[in-house]
Structure 1
Amino acid sequence: MRASLPCLTAAALLAFCLAPTTVATAEPYATSDAPLALTPPMGWNNWAHYMCDIDEAKVVANADALVSSGLAAKGYDTVTVDDCWMAKSRDPEGNLVVDAQKFPHGMAWLGAYLHAKGLKFGIYEDAGSLTCERYPGSGSPEGGGPDHYAQDARQFASWQVDYVKMDGCNLWVPPGKTKEQAYRDAYGAVSEGLRASGRDMVLSASAPAYFQQGEWGGSDWHKVLGWVGETGQLWREGKDIKVYNPAAPATSRWSSVLGNYGYNRWLGRYAGPGNWNDPDFLIAGAPGLTEAESRSQVGLWAMMAAPFILSSDVARLTPAGLAALGNTDLIALDQDPMGRQGAVLSANATFEVLARPLANGDRAVAVLNRSGSARDISVPLTDIGLYSCTVDAKDLWTGRSTEVSTSLTGKVAAHDTAVFRLTPREGCGAPVPTGQITGNGARCADGVNTTGVGAVVLAPCTAAADQRWVLGPRESVRLSGKCLSAGEGGAVELAACAPGEPGQRWTHRRDGALVEDVSGLCLTAPATAATPDAPAERLRLSDCGDHRVDQAWSLPV
């Protein structure tokens, strides 16, 4: 697997508990005395369009196009050169050597050119012994030996680099260590090297992408997601976006966009100022996406507080793609200073509804139409946590605002995503996190079933009322007026809510665990049913394990 894009340094992450205004908790460490990337990075990288067919002229042309198109002035300011920029060997002193045919003026010149344009300079390296395309990496050689983390960081600093994308191919695992431990050591050393370089450089780490196992991930994937924010500011956690194929330019890339959205949408607990989940490059306006699909990618990435890093031929972006990428309302949404990633509130085969709290008290809402035809939508305000409330709803694509007191309505084209910014009017209470609780296999906690009275099971997500949970007062988790409660024999159930009742208070930890406060046990998903006709198994409480995927939960916000 080749993981691409920016990664992490850390800053304060908001704690999360289970009350309406709370949630998980754990503070990432800072990798610099000066906080970096307090909002998601924006810019351009060559990989998903040019791959190794990169040189100085192409980088300069795209940098110039960022400026002339107006995108740079809107925040797309970091230009990153990906893999294949260097010679195949280091020099006798161990320094990286720039490929002089591709970059005849060298990297210091390129950095100066970009800075003169008001842009920032980003560069690619690898934490392993070789990059993914088998150029010199920064890590120890296979079998052991000195690494080049500190030396390469000093070299980048001398070139006035602002941003380092550190990939994770070909990383040696020493005897006696697990792969996860080896990656933690390597990226820790990368971070220390950058810190000691004397120059602040944003670090984009690809470590989690080398542990991904499907959309929900495995135990080691979750472990890496837990520590990667201690090393840098953003991280690639899964597959690359599908690259442009010049031999078949019309090939659809939509399924790749949905796939990357799919694994990223459950990870909001790890995001916050200085730490960003990165589902890879924006390809909106490039070949392979329709106008609607381009809008969808921009809208979904903005809802997820994802880095806005283009990977395309900027001068040839379609007018519709350029309009979506340059939409100042969508950029403001992505760059909201609260830094809270949005969450999926309801999902079925056709629609997904996401919500995102914003710094000024507004609430962003997006509706993705997965289907192949235009659909009417109607989203009650109560389904997104706004009760007895009138809002001004601004359609961020058209710019039109409407007074809404019942439901958001409209028509969404095939593969399109409607995005609204809701401003509550005077008299509205605080939004109450309302929506689905998603667990292992991207299935939903369901409170209406035939397993038994009050039973709670894990079922396919339907967006129905029996999956619409409310994070209530006193750390309660409610459905249809009843509270999620510890039951007999380790099962959980819905029971009458009673203030102070043991077994009805829950804490959502940063690792995703949902812990019942009295017993200290974790809500645990059953194994996937062996056959479609098998009866659903009840959710239970069990001892909390080490980043168990069946104990990780995504909650509404």
Structure 2
Amino acid sequence: MGWNDWAHFQCGYTESTILANARALVSTGLAAKGYTTVTTDDCWMQTGRDANGNLQADPSRFPDGMAYVGQQLHALGLKFGIYEDAGTSTCGGYAGSWGHWQQDANLFASWGVDYLKLDGCNLPSVAGQSSEQTYQGAYQQMSQALRATGRPIVFSESAPAYFQGTTDWSTVLGWVGQYGQLWREGYDIATYDANKPNSSRWSSVLTNYGYNNPIHRYESPGNWNDPDFVIAGDGGLTADESRSQLSLWAEMGAPLILSDDVTQLSAASVADLGNSDVIAVDQDSLGHPGYVVSQNGTLDVLTRPLANGDRAMAILNRSGSAVTASTTTTAAGFAGGSGCSFGVRDLWSGATSTTSGALSAAVPAHGTALLRITPSAGCGTTVPRGQLSGIAGQCLDDSGSGTADGNPVIVYGCSGNPNQQWTLPGDGTVRTLGRCLDVPGSATSAGTYVDLHGCDGSAGQQWSYDQAGNLVNPNSGDCLDVYGGGSATGTRTDIWPCGHNQFNQTWSLPQ
């Protein structure tokens, strides 16, 4: 948690800007809520290095130098974050770290830096290496250099963002956790425009939520997907949209890195950003991100397991009108049982209630309800349940909601209907409507269509899930595949040899 200048100020900041926002974090109480790392983004340095090859602060922006900034932040009880780039120059054209890994890491440590954001612009081509290999080498070297300083410096990696939309994206997401603690994996959040301060940035929030939520499989304690800055409270979002971003980021376990002008935040925005119940969901010690239960184009329902056995449920209203959303504790992942009851707390209104299973929330336009659900004694059993989304955002679907043996399993637009609700009971099966995802006759021939069948414990009904997003049938060794690489509604699924990050074999599961 913390603050970064970029999304509000871009390069239009100085030493005074950074320190004024740092003091505002303290005076508003946001620092006490956890927003403690203050990061200076691109443009802080000069385009060239000094005679000894060291990075140089821009004297017009930072007349007292970067060590002074670190000292001032530490005196406020805050941590000092700084930006650099793995390439020959930063995205803004300033001196990059390429070939200066240890020198720059040592310099940062001498300045008292606690957090490094390493961007990925302008990496050179290296003979005999793919672009992905070059990026891995660069981030590995900076990680080693930071460790060698002996100073604990949190490492934020931007490498995945440079591969978004390519087949190497999953590969990069698979290795960044070896080197750092968090990583930017996609598009930047829309920046503030002082000339159009109220220009909507809501679509950008939805975009970043949209690419981040399906990849929860890469997140675990100490390793965090970062869908970019929190702009809640800044121009371009309504109050409900701001609370939505906070709710969704908390549900996904995303870093809460604020990028507003903290000195200008309203009292209401400060209260929202400092909502202790929402922050507790985001910072939950279990470190298990939420996943999508259902989407129907209007409502997204997500659930997140919490360390004490509670669940956090987020209900996003994408529409421009208020809705009353209904769901259940079963959808949240609780198995329930006779005599079970559940305490429900609305984390925005503070209202509490008790239910035996039904859940309801009034959700404003572009709003997100965030509920914390506490099971009574004996009701804590949970089962992962939700949609399986894949290529082009299509959902795995029991065609026509049929339950006869051999009913086709296809991809279809996500509807949130029961025939797209799959459970993973922990026995290797994947189930919907009481039936199992099945390779008929436990066949091993590539191209065999997958269908639905009564659960019988056969080898054709066993599935394992890997971090790359493959749902593998161990009996055949093949992957659940959308036939022919298609994404059209109604396309059947089959088993096929697992390829390298094939989009038609990559699935997001409730887990």
TM-score, length of structure 2 as denominator length: 0.96
Gaps of 5+ in 1: 1-41, 140-146
Q: 2:481 aligns with which of 502, 524, 540?
A: 524
| One-letter code aligned to 2:499 | G
Structure 1 residues 233-252: aligned runs within 5 Å: 233-252=181-200
3-state SS, counterpart of residue 503 of structure 1: helix
Q: Please report how far the alpha carbon of residue 552 of structure 1 lies from its aligned counterpart in structure 2 after TM superposition.
A: 1.4
Residue 404 of structure 2 corresponds to residue 445 of structure 1: no
Q: Please report how far the alpha carbon of residue 529 of structure 1 lies from its aligned counterpart in structure 2 after TM superposition.
A: 5.4
Report the equivalent of 1:508.
465
Report the equivalent of 2:173.
225
Residue 204 of structure 2 corresponds to residue 253 of structure 1: no
- The CA distance in 1 between the partners of 2:83 and 2:255, in whole Å, is 16
- The CA distance in 2 between the partners of 1:510 and 1:368, in whole Å, is 27
Residue 429 of structure 2 corresponds to residue 476 of structure 1: yes
| One-letter code aligned to 1:196 | A
- The CA distance in 2 between the partners of 1:279 and 1:321, in whole Å, is 21
**Residues 248 and 535 of structure 1: is their aligned pair in 2 closer, same or farther, counting only changes over 3 Å?**
closer
TM-score, length of structure 1 as denominator length: 0.88
**Residues 438 and 110 of structure 1: is their aligned pair in 2 closer, same or farther, counting only changes over 3 Å?**
same
Q: Please report how far the alpha carbon of residue 77 of structure 1 lies from its aligned counterpart in structure 2 after TM superposition.
A: 0.2
Residues 450-459 or 185-194, more deviating: 450-459
- The CA distance in 2 between the partners of 1:107 and 1:343, in whole Å, is 40
- The CA distance in 1 between the partners of 2:380 and 2:34, in whole Å, is 34
Q: Is this contact kept in 2: 1:526–1:538, CA < 8 A?
A: yes
Gaps of 5+ in 2: none
Q: Identify the structure with bigger relative contact order (alpha carbons < 8 Å, sequence gap 6+).
A: 1
Structure 1 residues 108-507: aligned runs within 5 Å: 108-139=67-98, 147-213=99-165, 218-386=166-334, 387-388=336-337, 389-449=340-400, 453-487=406-440, 490-499=448-457, 501-507=458-464
| One-letter code aligned to 1:48 | A
Percent identity over the alignment is 52
| One-letter code aligned to 1:447 | D
Q: Is this contact kept in 2: 1:295–1:321, CA < 8 A?
A: no
Q: Is this contact kept in 2: 1:49–1:244, CA < 8 A?
A: yes
Q: Please report how far the alpha carbon of residue 258 of structure 1 lies from its aligned counterpart in structure 2 after TM superposition.
A: 0.3
- The CA distance in 2 between the partners of 1:525 and 1:508, in whole Å, is 16
Runs of 4+ in 1 over 4 A off after TM superposition: 450-453, 527-530
3-state SS, counterpart of residue 403 of structure 1: strand
Q: Is this contact kept in 2: 1:470–1:477, CA < 8 A?
A: yes
3-state SS, counterpart of residue 354 of structure 1: strand
Q: Please report how far the alpha carbon of residue 390 of structure 1 lies from its aligned counterpart in structure 2 after TM superposition.
A: 1.7
- Structure with more helix by fraction: 2
Q: Is this contact kept in 2: 1:286–1:318, CA < 8 A?
A: no
Q: 2:22 aligns with which of 48, 56, 63?
A: 63
**Residues 463 and 528 of structure 1: is their aligned pair in 2 closer, same or farther, counting only changes over 3 Å?**
farther
- The CA distance in 2 between the partners of 1:189 and 1:375, in whole Å, is 51
3-state SS, counterpart of residue 421 of structure 1: strand
3-state SS, counterpart of residue 456 of structure 1: strand
Q: Is this contact kept in 2: 1:393–1:421, CA < 8 A?
A: yes
Q: Please report how far the alpha carbon of residue 527 of structure 1 lies from its aligned counterpart in structure 2 after TM superposition.
A: 5.3
Structure 1 residues 44-63: aligned runs within 5 Å: 44-63=3-22
Q: Is this contact kept in 1: 2:388–2:420, CA < 8 A?
A: yes
- The CA distance in 2 between the partners of 1:511 and 1:170, in whole Å, is 27
Q: Please report how far the alpha carbon of residue 551 of structure 1 lies from its aligned counterpart in structure 2 after TM superposition.
A: 1.4
Q: Please report how far the alpha carbon of residue 393 of structure 1 lies from its aligned counterpart in structure 2 after TM superposition.
A: 0.7
Q: Please report how far the alpha carbon of residue 75 of structure 1 lies from its aligned counterpart in structure 2 after TM superposition.
A: 0.4
Report the equivalent of 1:23.
none
Q: Please report how far the alpha carbon of residue 324 of structure 1 lies from its aligned counterpart in structure 2 after TM superposition.
A: 1.6
- The CA distance in 1 between the partners of 2:82 and 2:484, in whole Å, is 43
The superposition leaves residues 164-208 of structure 1 with CA deviations (integer Å, 9 ceiling, x where unpaired) of 000000001212211111111111111111111121100100000
The superposition leaves residues 254-292 of structure 1 with CA deviations (integer Å, 9 ceiling, x where unpaired) of 000000001000011111111000000000000000000
Report the equivalent of 1:551.
505
